[in-house]
Structure 1
Amino acid sequence: MRETNKVFHLAIPCKELDETVTFYEKLGCRLARRYDDRVTFDFFGDQVVCHLSPENVDREPTMYPRHFGVTFLEKEEYDQTLEYAIKEELPFFKKPMVRFKGKQEEHMTFFLIDPANNLLEFKYYHDTSMVY
């Protein structure tokens, strides 16, 4: 189990810093640092660094094999994030849906797409034993 003294770190490409900052701040992420070649965010308690590298942006993104996001343990947090994404008119890659309906691993999910075509998944499992 994760201990509170650890922060997960993820580095991803971005094509332009200003639009990246706008997207992640609209999502509710706090800008922690900005340099000429990257921006660092508090992404729901973890660290996401967006490196300026337009040549590494996926031209036609697909959900698999590469995406990242948050699995919420509280449904209210999932609902709040979804409502916030709608209110801020963030671009959806996949609208909210239920996956594996009727199975133990059933969960609610939606995907956003950032300005560099990075895919972000947000989900909530009804059975928290299925989180891992």
Structure 2
Amino acid sequence: MRDKNKVFHLAIPCKNLDETVNFYEKLGCKLARRYQDRVTFDFFGDQVVCHLNPDEIDEIPKMYPRHSGITFTNKGEYETCLRLAMDEELPFFQEEMVRFKGKPEEHLTFFLVDPANNLLEFKYYHDITMVY
């Protein structure tokens, strides 16, 4: 993981704290704090806070315009995450695929859906200069 001199923070809704903790811990995220209305995770070096708000859950998840995730710069770490998701039988929104095949921005990607229908994208660019 990268140095934590700056940590990105993302807050998302959840419908059930126990389901949320179970999902994110299976993904390898560390539970940092738990309160009656939210849980905070170390999400691959950044902070994700899932606020209990069952009225704000998307009934049908859509990739665009709202999703978040991780862009790996190490292919082995990407593959480890993919295997973990498969081994833990986490729900895929979209199986692994190649985007922009043959172009400089070609990358591997897959999407998971958490218990509150938040979409998580995981990707790896073959050319690291295309990450940003």
- TM-score, normalised with respect to structure 1: 0.97
Give 4+ residue runs of structure 1 displaced > 3 Å after superposition: none
Identify the residue that residue 93 of structure 2 maps to in structure 1: 93
Identity of aligned residues (%): 75
Residue type matched to 1:115 in 2?
P
State the secondary structure of the residue aligned to 1:50.
Answer: strand
Q: 1: CA distance between counterparts of 2:88 and 2:4? A: 30
State the secondary structure of the residue aligned to 1:83.
Answer: helix
State the secondary structure of the residue aligned to 1:21.
Answer: helix
Task: Name stretches of at least 5 consecutive residues in structure 1 with no aligned partner.
Answer: none
CA offsets 1:48-68 (integer angstroms, 9 cap, x no match): 000000000001110000000
- Cα displacement (A) at 1:79: 0.3
- TM-score, normalised with respect to structure 2: 0.97
Task: Name stretches of at least 5 consecutive residues in structure 2 with no aligned partner.
Answer: none
Residue type matched to 1:41 in 2?
F
Any conservation in 1 of the 2:109–2:122 contact (CA below 8 Å)? yes
Q: 2: CA distance between counterparts of 1:70 and 1:35? A: 25
Q: 1:4 to 1:39 in 2, by over 3 A?
A: closer
Identify the residue that residue 22 of structure 1 maps to in structure 2: 22
Q: 2: CA distance between counterparts of 1:3 and 1:40? A: 19
- Cα displacement (A) at 1:3: 6.6
Q: 2: CA distance between counterparts of 1:76 and 1:42? A: 20
- Cα displacement (A) at 1:87: 0.3
